[in-house]
Amino acid sequence: MNGSLKEKVDMVWHPNTQMRDYKRKAILVTEGEGIYVKDDKGKIYIDGISSLWNVCLGHSNKEIIEEIIEQMNRLQFFSLYGGYSNEPSVELALMISEITQNRFKRFFYTNSGSEAIDTAIKIVRQYFKNKKQDNRTKIVSLVSSFHGTTYGAMSAGGCSSKRYESYMPLLEGFIKIPPPYCYQCPYKSKHPECNLICANKLEEIIIKEGADTIAAFLAEPILAAGGFIVPPDDYFTKIKLICDKYDIKLIIDEVSTGFGRLGTGFGIDHWNVTPDIFCGAKGISNGYSPLGVVGVSDEIFEAFYGDLDDQKIKLNHGFTTAGHPISCAAGIGTLKYIKKENLIEKVKEKGVFFKKQMEQLKDVSIVKDIRGKGLMWGIELIDEFDLASLTYEIAKRKGLTIFLADPGNVLGLCPPFIATEGELVRMREILQESLLVAEEKMRMMNP
């Protein structure tokens, strides 16, 4: 990289970053190939988290790049406003519908996961207004969930208050219930003897608040940034039954888990449940261009039908660059590649292999729990001496990128779908070596 640019790196205010000493500590990533990236000093890193869970097909994927270039040479941009559309947005919608096994046929595009969540909240609230149920505005979600960083998404999220305390007050109308966290059950119970007390809490809240005031229940299939919390197999079945009983819409946040990450088209497919609305982003375009999507059931979509001059019933919402032809081309290239290479099935198979690798980490004394599905795994450590942050830095020095989840004592690995078994083994080896170093440092601090 140009040396003068490196000296000016702190002109860019980086997300979630303390900038005071950033120039001294910054790692400038300059190129990538497959599951590897290289910094400006020539050091190579294994991308153990697919950049931020979105470069699922690896860096420098030629087929996706060619799809983008082809579209760039034809139509660079034209908005979806004013009665206009573009071919890539329609073609991509058909491909997304196919991944949902045609359960969804209506899609609204955004530029990110956070925007997708905000859009879903707007849709479900306006849906009930269009149905003459104006009081149904409240959104129930989970403690420890993460849904994004826009105000609507933050208000729906349930990560630690430290993340949000500078932005208080958050928006009204959002209610949190405890998560299905079996390893540290907030009710001190054990599944399945617990009779899903965590799911039953939703019905308690509905009765307390009044069903006629609640619009939706919002959840991730796996609570990713909030600690990689995996619900038990019967959790979402019970949740869907409760939602249907009270005509409450189920919104599933697939931003991190959708498009193959868990070895299924969408993460919720593991629970054999179909939501009313889903939100997607990240892996939909392999991170090559910003893109998010909201899929809705026909029943919700048709509630917005009206006369052409009916301004009140239509969805009065949108973004300038929603359905951007270049981003949609990236999505088309991504989904074509996933289908051609049968990657969803391969992720399912690799997930079985990777689970066995992850379970070997239990031999390290500071590791307390391993959990995940497909190629999304969390490692919970003892909550002392800031061991997760220490392990994170050690792994970085050893050339492996990992994720530090919101609780502060949970690490994550979300490798690219294209990683070989040998590369998955190497990720586990580096992480295990890093954990052992952290374990030894703990002993030195606490002899």
SS3 call for 329: helix
Q: Cα–Cα distance between 408 and 384 in angstroms, integer?
A: 10
pLDDT in tens, the chain (447 residues): 456 777 888 899 999 888 988 878 889 999 999 999 999 999 999 999 999 999 999 999 999 999 999 999 999 999 999 999 999 999 999 999 999 999 999 999 999 999 999 999 999 999 999 999 999 999 999 999 999 999 999 999 998 767 788 899 999 999 999 999 999 999 999 999 999 999 999 999 999 999 999 999 999 999 999 999 999 999 999 999 999 999 999 999 999 999 999 999 999 999 999 999 999 999 999 999 999 999 999 999 999 998 766 777 999 999 999 999 999 999 999 999 999 999 999 999 999 999 999 999 999 999 999 999 999 999 999 998 899 999 999 999 999 999 999 888 999 999 999 999 999 999 999 999 999 999 999 988 876
Confirm or reject CATH 3.40.640.10 for domain 65-340, answering yes or no: yes
What is the model's pTM?
Answer: 0.97
User: Is there a contact between 424 and 350 (Cβ–Cβ < 8 Å)?
Assistant: yes
**Residue of 303, 201, 203, 185 whose CA lies nearest to 244:** 203
Spatial strand order in the sheet of 410-413: 367-373, 376-381, 410-413, 403-404
